């Protein structure tokens, strides 16, 4: 697909974006890595549930409960199909990817780890894939180890191999870094992890909406995804894990829905996936996430990846003309798969100033540490600016952003 055809096909589906089409006051949203915009198909699916099918799921015998349950479980099946899960029973609905990681750290981690065991993550991880493992390591007196980063801002595979050993019980890494943009070699890490008896957990928040994911091909044990980065609603996400692992894990939360039988002294647990879904779930949000995944599949993940690959190369080409700019992570090329984002600093200028001044021109980008403080400390900085793209982004938006950025850099340096 061409730049024009893909943007014309998709932008009209997004109310917040399409309202500015043919408008003099254009809004340019370049913060898709933080959260995606929502197409009308998702908004309508949530609206339809609350208008016509609003009822609790699984618990009622009446027609509304049956229709709500059908829509809710259909969303689970859509999610399973989206990642090529072995079974829909392996999909656990959560509030977000952070909850999915905490679920595994508490349920699997507390049950399986002992003093002296090792947990392996990387220097580039988002805080949601650092803090739960730090807490687990403290609870179980385990050792938390970090994989280093190469000079080009990629996962140091040799370092990963050297630190994966017979003491490693789980390795948890991002698929695509939300700051460096690099796509980590998951299949290679998984092969090595399994060879020493370790499980592998993948944070796929930055990859699921941008490329086709096949958990069977990746040969992993756990995966976390977040709806709001998939064109879906906030407050919803999912954990995927192999059925045999989930069967052996104790429940994370106790309460209604996750039980089979309750007596005064003990309880037994419901079958998968309900053992891990205590209480009334986010029904409308799950249905909305299912609609979002269906929407992405209708566009085609391969089409999205190819379009964004071209757009990312264009963004880098434009950014590199700016004097004093430092772009983090590897450059896009035909030989690597890179996230559709660019994180940068400009000598002598704070990223917050860049972001704030761009906002006055209706251009939305991210500034700060992007929930990656250890990574920023490693590079000796406390903040950076990030531009992140989507299949609804255009080269025109990039050109406008670059023009404004050049003007801001000139203004700030003249007044420094």
Order the strands of the 341-346 sheet from edge to edge: 325-328, 341-346, 384-388, 366-368
CA distance linking residue 293 with residue 81, whole number of Å: 10
Cβ neighbours for 191, distance < 8 A, ≥ 6 positions apart: 219
CA distance linking residue 153 with residue 327, whole number of Å: 10
Phi/psi for 129 (5° steps) reads -110, 20
- Do 144 and 169 contact (CB within 8 A), yes or no? no
Cβ neighbours for 109, distance < 8 A, ≥ 6 positions apart: 136, 139, 140, 170
Number of residues that make up the chain: 416
Q: Nearest-CA neighbor of 150 among 121, 180, 130?
A: 180
Instruction: Enumerate the β-bridge partners of residue 107.
Output: none
Instruction: Enumerate the β-bridge partners of residue 343.
Output: 328, 386
CA distance linking residue 8 with residue 22, whole number of Å: 12
Of the residues 142, 171, 183, 371, only one is catalytic, namely 371
The CA dihedral of 95, 98, 101, 102, to the nearest 10 degrees, is -80
Q: Nearest-CA neighbor of 176 among 289, 326, 332, 68?
A: 332
- Do 409 and 322 contact (CB within 8 A), yes or no? yes
Cβ neighbours for 308, distance < 8 A, ≥ 6 positions apart: 210, 340, 389, 390, 391, 393
Residues 15, 17, 23, CA angle at the centre, nearest 5°? 110
CA distance linking residue 186 with residue 178, whole number of Å: 16
CA distance linking residue 320 with residue 40, whole number of Å: 36
CA distance linking residue 343 with residue 204, whole number of Å: 19
Query: Is 142 one of the catalytic residues?
Result: no
Q: Is 159 helix (H, G, I), strand (E, B) or coil?
A: helix
The catalytic residues are 371
């Amino acid at each position: 697909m061409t730049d024009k055809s893909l943007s014309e096909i998709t932008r009209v589906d997004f109310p917040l974006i399409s309202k500015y089409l043919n408008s003099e006051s254009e809004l340019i949203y370049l913060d898709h890595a933080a959260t995606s915009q929502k197409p009308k198909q998702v908004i309508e699916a949530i609206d339809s549930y609350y208008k016509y099918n609003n009822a609790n799921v699984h618990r009622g015998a009446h027609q509304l409960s049956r229709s709500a349950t059908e829509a809710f479980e259909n969303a689970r099946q859509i999610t399973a199909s989206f990642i090529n899960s072995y079974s829909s029973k392996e999909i656990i609905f959560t509030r977000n990817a952070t909850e999915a990681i905490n679920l595994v750290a508490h349920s699997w981690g507390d049950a399986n780890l002992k003093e002296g065991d090792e947990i392996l993550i990387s220097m580039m991880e988002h805080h949601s894939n650092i803090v739960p493992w730090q807490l687990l390591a403290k609870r179980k007196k385990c050792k938390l180890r970090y994989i280093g980063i190469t000079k080009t801002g990629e996962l140091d595979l040799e370092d990963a191999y050297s630190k994966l050993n017979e003491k490693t019980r789980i390795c948890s890494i991002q698929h695509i870094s939300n700051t460096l943009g690099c796509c980590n070699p998951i299949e290679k890490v998984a092969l090595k992890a399994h060879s020493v008896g370790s499980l592998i957990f993948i944070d796929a928040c930055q990859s699921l909406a941008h490329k086709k994911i096949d958990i069977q091909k990746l040969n992993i044990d756990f995966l976390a995804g977040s709806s709001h980065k998939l064109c879906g609603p906030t407050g919803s996400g999912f954990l995927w894990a192999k059925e045999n692992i989930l069967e052996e894990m104790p429940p994370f939360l106790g309460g209604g829905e996750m039980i089979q039988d309750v007596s005064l002294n003990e309880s037994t647990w419901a079958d998968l996936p309900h053992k891990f879904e205590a209480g009334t779930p986010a029904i409308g949000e799950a249905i909305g996430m299912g609609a979002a995944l269906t929407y992405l599949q209708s566009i085609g993940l391969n089409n999205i990846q190819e379009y964004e690959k071209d757009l990312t190369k264009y963004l880098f080409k434009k950014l590199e003309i700016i004097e004093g700019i430092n772009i983090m992570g590897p450059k896009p090329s035909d030989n690597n798969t890179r996230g559709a984002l660019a994180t940068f600093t400009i000598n002598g200028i704070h990223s917050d100033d860049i972001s704030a001044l761009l906002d006055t021109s209706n251009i939305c980008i991210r500034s700060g540490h992007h929930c990656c403080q250890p990574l920023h400390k490693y590079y000796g900085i406390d903040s950076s600016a990030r531009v992140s793209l989507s299949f609804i982004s255009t080269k025109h938006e990039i050109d406008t952003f670059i023009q404004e950025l050049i003007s801001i850099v000139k203004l700030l340096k003249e007044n420094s």
